[in-house]
Amino acid sequence: MYHSMQATKKLIYLFLMIGTFALLSACSHHTPVKQDYSSKTKFVEYKHYNWLANERTAKLKSQHPFVAERIEAAILSKLHSQGNMIVRDKPEAYIGYDYVVRRTESLEPTTTFGWGFGGRHYGFRGMFPIEYETKVYEEVEWIVDIYDSNQKLVWRGSVMKPLQEFSAPKDAEAYTEEVIIEIMDKYPPK
């Protein structure tokens, strides 16, 4: 009897540790930056860039002018820190970017019905959802593209982040710079 209680205590302790680890890993959710690129491109030769004028950028600038302005400022800052420049004539590469808001709806339980039993050191229970609620999540896909001199896509970096609302422009600028630098730290690919 004593050994089975000891085994039960160890099992409960193990489940508590696993649960704690699962909760901690869920809290430290970090979305990695995705990148893809042409392996034939010699990115180290790109020192002079210009902005690529396309429909996506024009649409973003008309719908979210402040977001576009902040993205460009963050990209410029990162390029300059790498010793690169923006030029009008004969750039080796072009830069494009996008900011795409994605809306996801999820059906989640709001109330549950449960049953259970237990003793001093152990117990069991079961829960069943009764009512559901639709929750809406908005995420943003931040995209930075690099094109060669012929305006052919040669590198793309992107990351998904929850949509953030800021009360002050300085906070939005700092957040945008943080996200863009996170993406641009992958460029040029090594």
Average pLDDT over residues 126-135: 70
Quick one: how far is CA 20 from the chain centroid?
A: 24
Average pLDDT over residues 4-21: 57
Q: Which pLDDT belongs to residue 157?
A: 97
Cβ atoms of residues 73 and 180 within 8 Å: no
Q: Which range scores top for mean pLDDT: 74-78, 104-108, 133-137? A: 74-78
Confidence of residue 137 (pLDDT cuts 50, 70, 90): confident
Greater confidence (150 vs 26) lies with: 150
Which CA distances in Å does 118 have to 13, 115, 128? 16, 11, 18
Average pLDDT over residues 117-128: 61
Structure tokens of 132?
């559901």
Strand boundaries in the chain, DSSP class E: 34-37, 48-51, 85-86, 93-118, 123-148, 153-162
Q: Is 157 exposed, middle or buried (0-12, 13-18, 19+ CB in 10 A)?
A: buried
What is the tens place of the pLDDT at every residue in 22-68?
A: 444 444 456 799 999 999 999 989 999 999 988 999 999 999 999 99
